[in-house]
Chain A
């Protein structure tokens, strides 16, 4: 079956512009996660959704970051007024549910470059 897909695969934007990253999880997976990897760093957890609800937004790096998920499926991560430090690979993952010890299945990522 289809895996997790993300778009765009690459995005180059100018500092100060807004960007929107999209994640389409595996069908039937109710949990969806956003992570990012900055250069030289490990994967950093940003936010998760169980259904359409994001109970904890404290992992988002600043208030310029927001995420939403509608219909329990597709999620978008929006970065407003992008800064150079936002340059990173943004990864989305999904799992059957957030409870339990289910594996997370990752998408291919969006590489964001802020110039």
Chain B
């Protein structure tokens, strides 16, 4: 059984503040790490696919880093806006595997 852990489980952030949360995953047999944003009543939306140790990806105010040796990834949101409110999921893919193993997500609420 693969353990993909996300913390915190939920997070309240003031509008304009920056925030970050963590995904930890097995450090052996790593293939890829995915980040998704899932807004209520919508489909999960792909944010990043990361494969290389030390990878850093950015999309607008959102960025992510990857450490495959120690098995963690951080997602950062700069200058949070109300539209950033969503559940952020990370998903681990091990080498030779088929589907993704998801964490339970971090539920982010941006307070105006």
Contact = CB atoms under 8 A, between A and B. Distances in A.
Interface stretch (B63-71, B78-86, B102-110): B102-110
Contacts of A90: none
A43 B98 contact: no
B43 A106 contact: yes
B98 A104 contact: no
Interface size class of A (residues with CB under 8 A): 20 to 34
Contacts of B102: 35, 42-45
Contacts of B46: 103-105
B21 to A, nearest CB: 15
B13 interface: no
Nearest to A58: B98
A63 B63 CA distance: 41
A59 B49 contact: no
Contacts of A35: 99, 102
Interface in B38-80: 42-46, 49, 51
Contacts of A77: none
Interface string A39-77: 001111111100000011001000000000000000000
A60 to B, nearest CB: 12
Contact of A48 (B32, B45, B99, B105): B99
Contacts of B99: 33, 35, 45-48, 59
B51 A42 contact: no
14 contacts: A4-B43, A33-B98, A33-B99, A42-B4, A42-B103, A45-B98, A48-B99, A59-B99, A91-B44, A93-B44, A101-B31, A103-B49, A106-B36, A106-B44
Interface of B: 4, 31-32, 34, 36, 42-46, 49, 51, 89, 91, 93, 98-105
